[in-house]
Amino acid sequence: MMSSSRLVSSLSIILIIISTAFFTVESIRLLPDSFDDASSDFMEAPAYQNGLECSVLAKNRLLLACDPSAVHIAMTLDPAYLRGTVSAVHSILKHTSCPENIFFHFIASGSSHGSLAKTLSSVFPSLSFKVYTFDETMVKNLISSSIRQALDSPLNYARSYLSEILSSCVSRVIYLDSDVIVVDDIQKLWKISLSGSRTIGAPEYCHANFTKYFTDQFWSDRKLSSVFDSKSPCYFNTGVMVIDLDRWREEEYTRKIESWMKIQKEDKRIYELGSLPPFLLVFGGEIEAIDHQWNQHGLGGDNVVSSCRSLHPGPVSLIHWSGKGKPWVRLDGGKPCPIDYLWAPYDLHKSQRQYLQYNQELEIL
C-alpha cells in the first residue's frame, strides 16, 4: 500500500500533467434508463484481500454486521450519486490493509432499495454490506427549503437518524458522503478516540466565519442563540464523521436535531443550509477535532456555482467534492476541473475506460 505522503506527491505530479493537457470527453448518461439494469453500467471491482497482519473476523456477513472489531462505515445510496458511492467504496477497499474487515451500512429510499443492492453485489461480489430502507416520512415534514435543491432530499437527512436506522448492535460508525475518495487506510480514522463525552469526531475549521451559517433572526433571538453560550463552536463538515452511536442513543440527539428543524419549519427561518446547521446547533463546540487531512472538502465549488478549486496545503487522506460540482458530471460533460482526475482512477463506470491510463500512472508512481 502506498504511503499517504508519497501518494500526495504523486497526486500533485499527476495534477500538473493533466492540467496542461486537453481531452475530448464524450458526454454519457449519468444514470441507466432503468435502475434494475444499473449493474450492467459498472465493471466488477478487483478482489481485495486482507494482509497477513489483519485480525481474522467472522466470514458470515450477518455476524460481521455487529462485530465491534470490524470497521463500520455508513453511506447513503442515492441513485443520482450511485457512481460516486461506488467510487468511494472502491477507494476505501484499495487503500486499506484489511478490506475484508470492513462492513458497509448503506441507507436507501424504499423505491430503489432492491436494485441498488443488486448493483453493489454485482460490482463488489465479496463486499460485506447491508442496505437499510430509510422511512422518508420521518423527516419529510421537517425539511425546509435551502439554497440548493439537492440539499432538500430526505435522504440527505438520513445521517441524523443513523442511531435508529442501523441495528442497535452497531455502537460506532464512520459516516461518509458519496462524493469522497479515501487515499489512506480507513482504519486510521476508525481508531481515533472520542474523548470525554464527545459523540462526534470530525475535522473542525475554526477560521471559518461561524456566524454566517445562521440568519440574523437567529442571532438576534437571545433564547435561541444562547445555545452557544459558554462554548467555542467551530464549523465542521458533516460529510465525514466518526460517531459514537451508543452515546448518541443515550442522549437522544436525533430528537434534539428535530427540535431545531421544527423551529426552522414552524417558527422562524434560522438557517439556509439543509441538514448541516442542526448538527452545528447540537454539537458545535463539542466536537472531537480530527486532522484536516481527513476531509479535504469544498472541491465541488460552492453551493451556487460549480467552480474549480485545488487541494488545501498539507497531507491528504480523504478528498471531498462537497459543493455543487461533482467529478463524474464534470468529466462526462467534457469540462472537468484538474482535481477531478484524482477521482477518475476509482471510477468503475464502464465509460471510464478512457481514464485507465491514469490508473496505470498512479501504480507506476
Q: Does 6 map to a domain?
A: no
Question: Rounded to an integer, what distance in angstroms lies between the CA atom of residue 158 and that of residue 75?
Answer: 9
Q: Does 8 map to a domain?
A: no
User: In the prediction, which pLDDT does 353 show?
Assistant: 59
Q: Does 210 map to a domain?
A: yes
Q: Does 120 map to a domain?
A: yes
Instruction: Collect all residues with Cβ–Cβ distance below 8 Å to 180 and sequence separation of at least 6.
Output: 84, 88, 91, 239, 240, 318, 319, 320, 321
Helix, strand, coil percentages (3-state) for the chain, rounded to 5, are: 45, 15, 40
Q: What is the 3-state secondary structure (H, E, C) of 3-44?
A: CHHHHHHHHHHHHHHHHCCCCCCCCCCCCCCCHHHHHHHECC
User: In the prediction, which pLDDT does 30 show?
Assistant: 33
The domain of 228 spans 42-363
Q: Does 10 map to a domain?
A: no
Q: Does 17 map to a domain?
A: no
User: In the prediction, which pLDDT does 149 show?
Assistant: 72
In this predicted model, what pLDDT tens digit does every residue of 163-206 receive, in sequence order?
A: 999 999 999 999 999 999 999 999 999 999 999 899 999 999 99
**pLDDT higher than threshold 70 for residue 291:** yes
And the C-alpha cell for 88?
A: 468511494
The whole-angstrom distance between residue 255's C-alpha and the CA centroid of its chain comes to 23
CA 120, 121, 124: angle at the middle one, nearest 5? 75
In this predicted model, what pLDDT tens digit does every residue of 228-253 receive, in sequence order?
A: 999 999 999 999 999 999 999 999 99
In this structure, are residues 136 and 90 in contact, taking their beta carbons and an 8 Å threshold?
A: no
User: In the prediction, which pLDDT does 26 show?
Assistant: 26
Identify the CATH number of the domain in which residue 157 sits.
Answer: 3.90.550.10
Q: Does 22 map to a domain?
A: no
Tell me the three state secondary structure of residue 200. strand
**pLDDT higher than threshold 60 for residue 308:** yes
Percentage with pLDDT > 90 across the chain: 74
User: In the prediction, which pLDDT does 336 show?
Assistant: 93
Question: Rounded to an integer, what distance in angstroms lies between the CA atom of residue 104 and that of residue 66?
Answer: 11
Q: Does 13 map to a domain?
A: no
Question: Rounded to an integer, what distance in angstroms lies between the CA atom of residue 119 and that of residue 106?
Answer: 12
Q: Mean of the per-residue pLDDT values for the chain?
A: 87
Q: What is the mean pLDDT of residues 44-48?
A: 95
Residue 223 to residues 219, 244, 271, Cα–Cα distance (Å)? 9, 29, 16
User: In the prediction, which pLDDT does 39 show?
Assistant: 66
**pLDDT higher than threshold 90 for residue 304:** no
In this predicted model, what pLDDT tens digit does every residue of 315-333 receive, in sequence order?
A: 999 999 999 999 999 999 9
More confident residue, 175 or 111: 175
**pLDDT higher than threshold 50 for residue 341:** yes
Query: In terms of C-beta density within 10 A (0-12 exposed, 13-18 middle, 19 or more buried), how is residue 350 classed?
Result: exposed
Q: How many domains does the chain have?
A: 1
Residue 291 to residues 3, 74, 296, 318, 329, Cα–Cα distance (Å)? 17, 20, 10, 11, 29
In this predicted model, what pLDDT tens digit does every residue of 64-98 receive, in sequence order?
A: 999 999 999 999 999 999 999 999 999 999 999 99
Place of cell 435522504: 155
